[in-house]
A = this chain, B = another copy of it.
Amino acid sequence: MANFELISRLANDSGGKIILLVMDGLGGLPRTADGLTELETAHTPNMDALAKAGSTGLTIPVARGVAPGSGPAHLALFGYDPIQYEIGRGVLEATGIGIEVLPGDVAIRGNFCTVDANGLITDRRAGRIPTEEGAKRVELLKQIKLPGVETIVEAVQDYRFAVLLRGSGLNGDIADTDPQATGVPTLPAVAQSPAAEHTAKLVNQWLAEAAKILKGHEPANMVTLRGFAMEPGLPKYSEVYKLKAACVAVYPMYKGVSRLVGMDVIPTDIHDHPADEFKRVAGIWNDYDFVFCHIKYTDSRGEDGDFDAKVKVIEEVDAALPILLDLKPDVLVITGDHSTPATYKAHSWHPVPTLLYAPKTHMPDRAQAYGERECMGGALGQFPAAELMPLALGHANRLAKYGA
């Protein structure tokens, strides 16, 4: 995106402070033909007041008609063209649990599985063993050494773990070893291009060792590897936006993406409620120019198809919002990364209601509340999510004038 280069050229390190509050999967659909969406149903006096005072619009995460995953949807919110910049799943998994992924590393997602005496898969998720059982076996896997390559293995959750290979000449262009079926053996690592053949050989060596070590540790007596990926080399927030940025999120993946763009990831507890997260934002507010705060459970309840529960999460966020408002950010953006309508039970492509509150610089529009239909006639129009960061920077007086 040409604009991205322009913005990084114009960005300066003075100006106002910004909060980007993202309710995952915020956008919704009405339950009945003439009904209201989740956001329109929710009692949200605080967000309504912000929408009434400030600017509203709708963001398109990746492209019209395209439902995005959380990775590209967040890259877009962070200002990166989500088609140009891609983050592999392995990298998301690794960074999400705090493994630092450096340029040249190959990161991989691992699953424990169950194989029978003939090596045929009987359970692709090893009976969904609990996290502590997975962790015990990860300790065994840590013993595996590869020639000339550092190997990092860490438990993620339940039957999932992450592997990172560090060394020279590595390449992540390797197909998944999970055959996505039972009654068949796990697949060997197969290079998808000549440059990855050396790495595939090393991975197969590691898999052979893993099979030996895990023998007898039923139900998790074998592994599959997926999502081979390399560090994507994303330009960092401090370089492109001249922002000292922090992330407050409870879920690993969002921490992972934030770390890849150079945000400091603030420690949180997986059980944090919105108010807890907002208090963490308050706790670090003096140290940062920009804080990204992520609320997970709007998306989860949307995927559950639980309209009322999604409404409740939105209301909980609204009730806690004064904690953020008391910080008096120069720019407060509230949006979602994509829509997850409870009626659809999945991520969707519908544009996401977005509000921008910047009392010194925003253009008030005619929206009277924060909701999909109110945002349709707003001052920001309907626009690519990747242009939200420039808007926030502009409203914070952090972009120089372009040309004379």
User: Which A residues are closer than 8 A to B by beta carbons?
Assistant: 2-3, 6-7, 10, 29-30, 33-34, 53, 58, 62-73, 82-83, 86-87, 89, 92, 227, 344, 346-351, 359, 361, 363-366, 372-373, 376-383, 387, 389-395, 399, 401-404
Contacts and interface: CB of A to CB of B under 8 A. Distances in A.
Contacts of A381: 58, 351, 376, 381-382
A7 B399 contact: no
Contact of A366 (B3, B73, B348, B376): B376
Given A7-B65, A64-B387, A68-B402, A344 B363 contact: no
A31 to B, nearest CB: 12
A350 B365 CA distance: 12
13 contacts: A6-B62, A29-B363, A33-B359, A65-B390, A65-B393, A67-B399, A67-B401, A67-B402, A70-B404, A71-B404, A346-B401, A351-B379, A365-B376
Contacts of A34: 364
A2, A58, A64, A89 pick with most chain B CB within 10 angstroms: A64
A302 B376 CA distance: 29
A86 B364 contact: no
Contacts of A377: 376-377
Contacts of A86: 403
A33 B53 contact: yes
Contacts of A67: 394, 399, 401-402
Contacts of A350: 363, 379
Contacts of A29: 361, 363
B83 A2 contact: yes
Contact of A66 (B6, B66, B359): B6
Given A351-B381, A366-B373, A65 B33 contact: no
Given A33-B359, A65-B389, A349-B399, 4 more contacts: A58-B381, A66-B390, A227-B404, A348-B394
Contacts of A382: 380-383
Contacts of A62: 6, 402
A376 B2 CA distance: 26
A158 to B, nearest CB: 17
Given A83-B2, A83-B6, A350-B363, A65 B373 contact: no
Contact of A63 (B3, B58, B361): B3
- Pick the most buried of A65, A82, A83: most chain B CB atoms within 10 A of its CB: A65
